[in-house]
Amino acid sequence: MKITENTDLEIVKAIREGLERTGGYCPCRLERTPENKCMCKEFRDQIKDKDFEGYCHCMLYYKSK
Ligand code: SF4
């Protein structure tokens, strides 16, 4: 299992700017809840799921099996 950043630097830049704007909350979500702090609960659960492979919701990170 490996977590890597998207190789598309434009996406990484846009999401990082979004995270800075929100103070670390997922820029793709409206609710400022602890579950939505990056890395958000959804992605942490996807990391735990041995069958999951793919991007997080914002496409900042990629999990390979
Ligand atoms: S979707 Fe990705 S970038 Fe957004 S909070 Fe979750 S892990 Fe971070």
Range of the domain at 37: 2-64
The two three-digit tokens of residue 54, written as one number: 């793919």
- Output the pLDDT for position 30: 94
CB-ligand 1 contact for 26 (6 Å cutoff): yes
> Which segments of the chain does DSSP mark as H helices, in order?
9-22, 41-48
CB-ligand 1 contact for 39 (6 Å cutoff): yes
What is the whole-number distance in angstroms between the Cα of residue 53 and the centre of ligand 1?
15
Residue type, 30: L
What is the whole-number distance in angstroms between the Cα of residue 7 and the centre of ligand 1?
15
Average pLDDT, the chain: 97
User: What is the average pLDDT across 33-51?
Assistant: 98
Rounded Cα gap, residues 42 and 16, in angstroms: 18
What is the whole-number distance in angstroms between the Cα of residue 11 and the centre of ligand 1?
12
The total domain count for the chain is 1
- Output the pLDDT for position 32: 96
What predicted TM-score, i.e. pTM, was given to this entire model?
0.94
Cα 13 to chain centroid distance, Å, stands at 13
Write the pLDDT tens digit of every residue in 27-40. 999 999 999 999 99
Largest Cα span, the chain: 33
